[in-house]
């Protein structure tokens, strides 16, 4: 276990297990308002993880918090923790600050804004500014998972110059990390179920047809996890890395969800069973902030124009920052 895991990830996962059990996730579904576990998250201090140290935060880099964001996906955390953490850092870097009790979603153009129903505010792009707007009614979420939309006339609270910030990149990068966390959890649940459920006198996991499907699921989960980590690699969100992350997680989600439900059978879609909590959100996240085709289009357009000889060069050069950060860290440890 790395130092970062011991200091950050393990305590955070423990906190989530306490404050966001499946019952709390179910209780928040269909409600408009900030769920009670928000207070615990504020008290935990994790929300300032990305805020620079000289502004009172922990000064962590993006890649340090990947595991936290993935963990919120794995438990279907019904409040926009990752989004608020990101908004706090984004504003702090521009000399602004959120209102103290603001619970924020990122709202670039999107078919749906996940967790809007649990938020008080949204960051939205407005011409050459990023504005914080106060949320009123966010409308229904056809996925029943607390998503919604931001009204065009939502009142502006404050704004900062957008500079090169593309909120869609931020939102998609965080969403890909949550998807990776949720898919890893689906794989665990599916493997456990396959080893427990007996049919024809044997556990499902003894049947080659099931084994082959779960192997495919594992491949997709791992590939998506690695891609999502790339999406949050380095110090800042990068459009090419996020495009890889959201494309790959979006593609993987189809197969992963299908196999999870195939292995579980009908029990998987019932209200009392947790599987559907994850798979309904995965579908919503796949749709949110640009699907795999949207991000593949952006990625392909950058690759087409890139002044490189090979795609291997293209990938290597775009991961250079991540590689630099990681090797610097390895160096420090050595």
Phi, psi (rounded to 5 degrees) for 44: -70, -20
- Tell me whether residue 9 or residue 279 sits nearer to other proteins (CB atom): 9
- Tell me whether residue 42 or residue 325 sits nearer to other proteins (CB atom): 325
Q: Please state, in angstroms and rounded to a whole number, the distance separating the CA atoms of residues 174 and 180.
A: 10
Q: What is the DSSP string of 76-107?
A: T-SS-HHHHHHHHHHHHTTT----TT--EEE-
Tokens in use for 15? Answer: 């906190």
Question: CB-hemisphere CA count at 13 Å for 160?
Answer: 20
Question: CB-hemisphere CA count at 13 Å for 165?
Answer: 27
Q: How many residues bind other proteins (CB under 8 A)?
A: 60
Find the shortest distance in angstroms from Cβ 161 to other proteins: 30
- Tell me whether residue 152 or residue 334 sits nearer to other proteins (CB atom): 334
Find the shortest distance in angstroms from Cβ 59 to other proteins: 20
Residue 293 CA from chain centroid, whole number: 18
Q: Please state, in angstroms and rounded to a whole number, the distance separating the CA atoms of residues 132 and 118.
A: 16
Beta carbons within 10 angstroms of residue 90's beta carbon: 22
Closest-CA residue to 178 (of 284, 323, 24, 32): 284
In the three-class reduction of DSSP (H, G, I as helix; E, B as strand; rest coil), residue 28 is classed as helix
By CB under 8 A, name the one of 206, 254, 258, 287 that touches other proteins: 206
Does 211 engage in binding with other proteins (CB under 8 A)?
yes
By CB under 8 A, name the one of 188, 196, 267, 270 that touches other proteins: 188
Does 316 engage in binding with other proteins (CB under 8 A)?
yes
Does 194 engage in binding with other proteins (CB under 8 A)?
yes
Tokens in use for 30? Answer: 């269909």
Does 313 engage in binding with other proteins (CB under 8 A)?
yes
Does 263 engage in binding with other proteins (CB under 8 A)?
no
Distance between terminal CA atoms of the chain?
15
Find the shortest distance in angstroms from Cβ 263 to other proteins: 11
Find the shortest distance in angstroms from Cβ 75 to other proteins: 13
Find the shortest distance in angstroms from Cβ 244 to other proteins: 4
Q: Which residues of 295-310 are buried (b: 16+ CB within 10 A; e: fewer)?
A: bbebbeeeeeeeeeee
SS3 per residue for 61-84 = CHHHHHHHHHHHHHCCCCCCHHHH
By CB under 8 A, name the one of 64, 141, 274, 292 that touches other proteins: 292
Residues from 18 through 57 that contact other proteins (CB under 8 A): none
Does 209 engage in binding with other proteins (CB under 8 A)?
no
Q: Please state, in angstroms and rounded to a whole number, the distance separating the CA atoms of residues 21 and 6.
A: 22
Where do we find the tokens 């559907």?
Answer: 276
Interface mask (CB under 8 A) for other proteins, residues 232-251, using x and -? -x---------xx--xx--x
Does 187 engage in binding with other proteins (CB under 8 A)?
yes
Does 157 engage in binding with other proteins (CB under 8 A)?
no
Question: Which of the ranges 120-128, 164-172, 268-276, 303-311 carries the binding residues for other proteins, by CB under 8 A?
Answer: 303-311
Site residues (vs other proteins, CB under 8 A): 63, 184, 187-188, 191, 194-195, 205-206, 208, 210-212, 214-216, 218-219, 221-227, 229-230, 233, 243-244, 247-248, 251, 292-293, 295-301, 303-304, 309-316, 318-319, 322-324, 326-327, 330
């Amino acid at each position: 276990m790395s130092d970062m895991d011991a200091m950050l990830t393990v305590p955070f996962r423990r906190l989530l297990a306490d404050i966001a059990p499946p019952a709390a996730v179910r209780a928040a579904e269909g409600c408009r308002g900030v769920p009670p576990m928000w207070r615990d998250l504020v008290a935990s201090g994790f929300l300032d993880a990305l805020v620079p140290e000289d502004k009172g935060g922990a000064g962590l880099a993006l890649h340090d918090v990947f595991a936290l964001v993935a963990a919120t996906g794995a438990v279907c955390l019904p409040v926009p923790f990752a989004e608020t953490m990101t908004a706090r850092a984004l504003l702090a870097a521009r000399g602004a600050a959120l209102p103290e009790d603001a619970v924020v979603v990122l709202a670039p153009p999107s078919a749906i804004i996940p967790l809007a129903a649990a938020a008080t505010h949204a960051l939205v792009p407005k011409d050459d500014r990023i504005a914080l707007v106060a949320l009123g009614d966010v409308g229904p979420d056809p996925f029943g998972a607390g998503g919604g939309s931001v009204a065009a006339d939502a009142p502006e609270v404050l704004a900062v110059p957008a500079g090169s910030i593309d909120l869609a990149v931020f939102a998609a990068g965080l969403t890909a990390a949550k998807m990776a966390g949720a898919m890893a959890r689906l794989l665990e649940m599916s493997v456990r179920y396959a080893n427990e459920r007996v049919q024809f006198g044997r556990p499902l996991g003894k049947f080659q047809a099931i084994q082959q499907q779960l192997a495919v699921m594992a491949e997709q989960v791992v590939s998506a996890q690695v891609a999502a980590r790339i999406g949050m690699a380095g110090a800042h969100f990068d459009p090419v890395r996020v495009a890889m992350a959201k494309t790959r997680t979006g593609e993987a989600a189809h197969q992963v969800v299908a196999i999870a439900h195939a292995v579980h059978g009908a029990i998987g879609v019932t209200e009392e069973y947790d599987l559907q909590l994850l798979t309904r959100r995965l579908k919503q996240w796949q749709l949110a902030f640009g699907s795999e085709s949207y991000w593949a289009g952006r990625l392909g357009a950058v690759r087409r124009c890139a002044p490189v000889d090979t795609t291997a060069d293209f990938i290597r050069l775009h991961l250079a920052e991540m590689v630099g950060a990681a090797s610097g860290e390895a160096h420090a440890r050595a």
